[in-house]
A and B are shown apart, each in its own frame.
Chain A
């Protein structure tokens, strides 16, 4: 939060106003507005087919838009593409490269194309790929390939990075090392536009989040703000039979739900905890466990879009770390 507040009044590097993209009769992006400031890590979330990748590709200059205004670093991504890409770093979804080329050769190739004097070893060390610098792309693991993509995205020292699902399919260790790179990019003042279907990743890394569904933005703000605005109150969960829920409903004016031998009570205040536990004790109904929890970004996401992000996969359990 402190960081988000510090961003106020900083330079707007990505501006989208009333962006529309149609594919024939299908409206993939339906009049969205976004404003992203310099130095932000901005997570763009949405289920499959929501319009995420189309939006990102329009911002990268890979696709023309149907209507609306789009500016990245003050440039039109489609018309000023060649000027803009010199300031962008991009990892496309499912990054691929030439099979027979090594990461070190690839970095040198990109550096040459961008006219930069890049220290290939230093860049590969930054993404923790120095041990595989001379191995061909075809022999790298999925995580190592993504790291190579990240290394290439860093070659031209970009002001803005578009990372389209950079950790999809990676093991926890590889995912964490990419998170570290994203954090270091933020500390260097670079702007990161991140799409991910790991909601806890977005919650951990992003200063601000936008959730898109059916081509429209349904929520935007810091993860905390979105949870506060769209999430439910704190919930007290008891491992107990459904009849406890009936008993509590008769005694309390708080929402009570029962599901799969779990009874959830939404709390309005800390005092409610004591009231509920006292009533549970008085009921004489046996219970085996108690805990409290608050909605996560994932809970809010599911509530807002009505489904999970990727075939029921809502990402790994929280892996810790800090922004």
Chain B
């Protein structure tokens, strides 16, 4: 592979893209419009509320009820009570298709008053960084408050998470989820729609054939195209974060953990777009295939609303969509600083990107067989 030829093709591709106002609008302007629009609509709305199933093993002691009332007052969780007689709460949650729970242990009140450590167990779905962050953050916040009241900050109530995120402790507004969601939207739509269109149009107009008559190789062409979409994604991300923070005070941070998603995401979706365009007989079929792939992903991956708000069966659907792992990873990186979840999502996106890159290079025809 020649870096010089990659650079030359990147220059021509970028010129073509920048001179086409439609492409530029959808890549940079449209996501900002969506942030402004959805941000304005939901900026005064309440925080997201997550269902949490509580098993109180402290025989409904006044202190435990006081603790749960405080937790309920955060309004970020909606508490449901489960009888101690059901046994292990984790198993009960799994059996009832629920993900988030809290166990108040026996001896909770006694331990608190005696200033002996008490472990509160929070159960969350490890693959859903959004919900994990909300539940853990809420319980941890109330526990800290109680610790402060009783022992001047010395830890008595210790929150343990069965699938613990590294940090949390904040309650999040809609705009906080919207910014990573729309960065994911941008990672998906710009490369996908463009590549589906480009690959089928280039095939129809025989532009791939034209390029094959030069020393440029198809891997070089695809690499330069991917680099362009990575650049576009990075620019678009900076703009969206600036607008989200500036206009609505979004609590998102530009973390280095985001970078792999902003690189691997465009590789994944550029390759997927090329693959969809390559297997299509004509641009019209390509557009249909592209829409079939893109639209469900756009709405079911947590772009506009956290996946935790979906019904369980839709959460399962979301988990098979590649964009879910991009957005979940961006949430983990930008909102929760949850390294474990980010690394898991990164691995999924990386493996998918590699598979699709290889598949697209193999399937798309530079010359004709």
Contacts and interface: CB of A to CB of B under 8 A. Distances in A.
Nearest to A155: B214
Interface stretch (B5-13, B129-137, B140-148, B292-300): B5-13
Interface in A88-130: 88, 90, 92, 94-101, 105, 109-110, 112-115
Given A62-B368, A63-B369, A113-B215, 17 more contacts: A61-B367, A62-B209, A62-B367, A63-B367, A64-B369, A82-B215, A92-B210, A94-B206, A96-B205, A96-B207, A97-B207, A100-B19, A105-B12, A109-B8, A112-B5, A114-B215, A115-B4
Contact of B210 (A97, A99, A112): A97
Contacts of B209: 62, 92
B215 A86 contact: yes
Interface string A135-179: 010000000000000000000000000000000000000000000
Contacts of B11: 109
B338 to A, nearest CB: 43
A98 B12 contact: yes
Interface in B194-248: 205-207, 209-210, 212-217
Contacts of B249: none
B20 interface: yes
Contact of B16 (A85, A92, A100, A113): A100
A57 B369 CA distance: 11
Interface of A: 57, 60-64, 81-82, 85-86, 88, 90, 92, 94-101, 105, 109-110, 112-115, 136
A101 B18 CA distance: 11
A318 to B, nearest CB: 32
Given A63-B368, A96-B206, A99-B16, A90 B8 contact: no
Given A97-B207, A112-B4, A85 B215 contact: yes
A280 B11 CA distance: 74
A112 B9 CA distance: 9
Contacts of B9: 109, 113
Nearest to A98: B16
Contact of B5 (A57, A86, A90, A113): A113
A81 B212 CA distance: 9
B18 to A, nearest CB: 8
B368 A98 contact: no
Query: Which of under 10, 10 to 19, 20 to 34, or 35 or more describes the interface residues of B?
Result: 20 to 34
A92 B209 CA distance: 9
Please indicate which of the listed interface residues A88, A96, A105 has the most CB atoms of chain B within 10 Å of its own CB: A96
A57 B16 CA distance: 28
Contacts of A100: 15-16, 19-20
Contacts of B5: 112-113
B366 to A, nearest CB: 10
Given A62-B212, A96-B206, A109 B369 contact: no
B367 A113 contact: no
Contacts, number: 65
Contacts of A97: 207, 210
A74 B4 CA distance: 29
Interface in B1-34: 4-5, 8-9, 11-12, 15-16, 19-20
A98 to B, nearest CB: 5
6 contacts: A88-B213, A92-B210, A101-B15, A112-B5, A113-B9, A114-B214
Contacts of A60: 213
B241 to A, nearest CB: 30
Contact of A92 (B12, B206, B215, B369): B206
A96 B367 contact: no
Contacts of A57: 368
A109 B12 contact: yes
A62 B212 CA distance: 8
A235 to B, nearest CB: 43
A81 B367 contact: yes
Q: Which 3 pairs show the lowest CB-CB distances between chains A and B?
A: A100-B19, A112-B8, A100-B16
A110 B205 contact: no
Contacts of A63: 367-369
Interface in B264-284: none
A323 to B, nearest CB: 28
Contacts of A92: 206, 209-210, 213
B207 to A, nearest CB: 6
A114 to B, nearest CB: 6
Contacts of A115: 4, 215
A100 B205 CA distance: 15
Nearest to B217: A82
B224 to A, nearest CB: 12
Contact of B214 (A85, A96, A136): A85
A90 B12 contact: no
Nearest to B19: A100
A63 B12 CA distance: 27
B369 A113 contact: no
B5 to A, nearest CB: 6
A313 to B, nearest CB: 23
Contacts of A61: 367
A82 B1 CA distance: 13
Given A101-B12, A112-B5, A96 B213 contact: no
A115 B9 CA distance: 13
B225 to A, nearest CB: 13
Contacts of A90: 213
Contacts of A62: 209, 212-213, 367-368
Interface in B338-369: 367-369
Contacts of B20: 100
A110 B210 contact: no
Please indicate which of the listed interface residues A94, A98, A101 has the most CB atoms of chain B within 10 Å of its own CB: A98
